[in-house]
Amino acid sequence: MSVASLPMYEPPELRQWTEEWWQGLARHFRAQGIEDAPAALTRPGDGLHAHWGQDGLLFSQGCGYPLTHGFAGRWQVVATPCYAAPGCDGPTYRSALIVREDAPFQATEELRGRSVCFNSRDSQSGFNILRATFAPLARDGCFFGKVVQSGGHIRSCALVQSGEVDLASVDCITYALYRRHAPQRTAGTRILAFTAPAPGLPYITALATTPDALARLRAGLQAAMDDPALAPVRDALLIAGMAILPQDAYATILDAENQALALSYPDLA
């Protein structure tokens, strides 16, 4: 039995739009001969990694860090979506380094000794690129005075809003979606800087998916991207297109990690 999910850009305020996007995708997948495209999305919650590891995973959206680490060799990339959000350029995206609107900081260097939060250590946008950004500024493996794990981008934004931490690294697409659909989640914050770019969060399928089914998924995805009836849905989700990147494109994520390790900055501190 096939399963599908779209877990990466779905705060509660966007559930209607992700449902409509999936219905459009499923319709085009079936038109391409993928008859077992699920009627509804699975929402795995805390069981996301177990969900991603199923042989029956037909379609989902993953993060580049698991793609290059825990799920390396266990996923096939269907395509990389492109987004119309500040910080995006084609299939690449950046993290927004956010601070309070009234914070005095004008440059990243001014945050030395201050507090920071990250969502989880297996996140490219919330941890890996944040670590790589501050590694050149660290002294004896330290830069920040306090580090907090938030558990998610929504919580990271809330910690900055409340003043509990000075800085958070948030996926720029997430931040733009909040600004548009849930402005209360970003109210009182601003972007201090953007990080270096990386390939965006890929649409994925299980390693068990056959080459023929993968080709049909790509064709169905392209048809959904071109479907005029889905234009309002794509606009709501800031989806601007798709790209099929070479296999080594996501090595950028490993490069960022290796840069931090080479500078003796294995963890945020």
> Domain locations in the chain?
3-85+199-254, 92-197
Residue 162 is predicted with a pLDDT of 98
Q: Are 188 and 161 in contact (CB under 8 A)?
A: yes
Beta bridge partners of 191: 98
Q: What is the mean pLDDT of residues 195-219?
A: 98
β-partners of residue 34 are: none
Fold held by 92-197 = D-Maltodextrin-Binding Protein; domain 2 (3.40.190)
**56 confidence band (pLDDT: 50, 70, 90):** very high
Q: What is the pLDDT of residue 107?
A: 97
For the structural domain made of 3-85+199-254, what CATH number should be given? 3.40.190.10
* Residue 126, pLDDT score: 98
Question: Does 3-85+199-254 match 92-197 in CATH topology?
Answer: yes
Q: What is this structure's pTM?
A: 0.96
Distance between CA atoms of residues 45 and 122, nearest Å = 16
Supply 29's token pair.
Answer: 């997948």
20: phi then psi, degrees, rounded to nearest 5: -70, -35
Instruction: Using the predicted structure, report yes or no on whether residue 45 has a pLDDT greater than 90.
Output: no
Average pLDDT over residues 191-196: 98
How far, in Å, are 48, 137, 196 from residue 7 at the CA level? 8, 34, 24
| pLDDT tens track for 233-265 | 999 999 999 999 998 999 999 999 999 999 999
- Looking at residue 22, what DSSP letter applies? H
Task: Quote the CA–CA distance of 206 and 54 in Å, as a whole number.
Answer: 7
